[in-house]
Structure 1
Amino acid sequence: MLKLALFFLIVSLVAGVFGFSGISAVSAGMAKILFFIAILCFVVVVLLVLFSANTLFR
């Protein structure tokens, strides 16, 4: 997922350099959305591991 966010960021930068502001804005928006989804998934996995590890060591 982070690879896709990086891909859309690069597409956005290249489109911005060449003057395609619409494509650049959409690509930047997609990069932001994918980045925050990846961060949310990471936090959920970390919390699940912490809670499951907590119950294993009781």
Structure 2
Amino acid sequence: MIVLGIILLVIGLIAGINILWTIGVILVVIGAVLWILGAVGHAVGGRRHYW
């Protein structure tokens, strides 16, 4: 999810499409939150680790 967000950020920045940039930021933030939750041991989606 983080990688997809970064890809959308780059494409949105190069092409000048704001909606792709916005979606990319959202995906990066959600991916980082899930990664942190999984790293500290909280179950995410019924799994003990996110990745």
Q: What is the rounded CA distance, in whole Å, between the counterparts of 2:19 and 2:7 in structure 1?
A: 13
* Stretches (4+) displaced over 3 A: none
Letter of the structure 2 residue corresponding to residue 3 of structure 1: V
Where does structure 1 lack aligned partners over 5 or more consecutive residues? 17-23, 50-58
TM-score normalised by structure 1 residue count = 0.61
- Considering only CA atoms, is the larger Rg found in Structure 1 or Structure 2? 1
What do you get for the CA RMSD once the two structures are aligned?
1.4
- The structure showing larger relative contact order (alpha-carbon pairs under 8 Å, at least 6 residues apart) is 1
Alignment of 1:33-52 (within 5 A): 33-48=26-41
TM-score normalised by structure 2 residue count = 0.68
**Matching residue of 1:8:** 8
What is the CA-CA distance between 1:5 and the residue it aligns to? 0.8
Alignment equivalent of 2:21, drawn from 22, 28, 31: 28
Where does structure 2 lack aligned partners over 5 or more consecutive residues? 43-51
* Identity of matched residues, %: 21
